[in-house]
């Protein structure tokens, strides 16, 4: 994996591992927060929907925040949007990590501004 130039994966351990190894990474997100869980390193986190994340870190389940029965993540991420980011990663010498240090986060049911 460390010999890859670009890695594309979902919000799981392999995306975090690739980014940690210094590989330019595109992590695709669904129900979890790309703001809270983006891989550290040369990584881009991407969500198909502007809906808020349905998962509260530390909880045992998921709840659709907007009560629309998860329609926002049923829609696939469009190939052209992913391909554009992958092309940008191949062209980039370095990917600057964008980490949000503030925002409407929840951890174990408690809100953190």
Has residue 81 been placed in a domain?
yes
* pTM score, whole prediction: 0.77
Displacement of CA 98 from its chain's centroid (Å): 11
**pLDDT per residue rounded down to tens, the chain (113 residues):** 989 999 999 888 999 999 999 999 999 887 777 777 788 889 998 877 777 777 766 556 677 777 777 777 666 678 888 899 999 999 999 988 766 555 555 555 555 44
A 10 A CB-CB count for 103 gives 10
Has residue 85 been placed in a domain?
yes
Q: How many domains does the chain have?
A: 1
DSSP state of 14: H
Has residue 77 been placed in a domain?
yes
- For residue 78, what are its two tokens? 């469009």
Has residue 31 been placed in a domain?
yes
Has residue 111 been placed in a domain?
no
Q: Which domain holds residue 39?
A: 6-93
Phi, psi of 80, rounded to the nearest 5 degrees: -60, -35
């Amino acid at each position: 994996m460390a010999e890859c130039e670009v890695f594309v994966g979902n919000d799981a351990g392999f995306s975090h591992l690739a980014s940690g190894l210094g590989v330019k990474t595109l992590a695709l997100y669904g129900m979890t927060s790309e703001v809270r869980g983006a891989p550290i390193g040369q990584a881009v986190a991407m969500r198909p929907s502007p809906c808020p994340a349905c998962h509260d870190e530390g909880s045992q389940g998921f709840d659709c925040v907007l009560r629309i029965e998860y329609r926002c993540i049923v829609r696939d991420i469009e190939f052209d949007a992913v391909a554009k980011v992958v092309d940008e990663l191949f062209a980039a010498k370095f990917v600057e990590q964008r980490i949000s240090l503030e925002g409407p986060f929840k951890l174990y049911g408690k809100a953190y501004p």
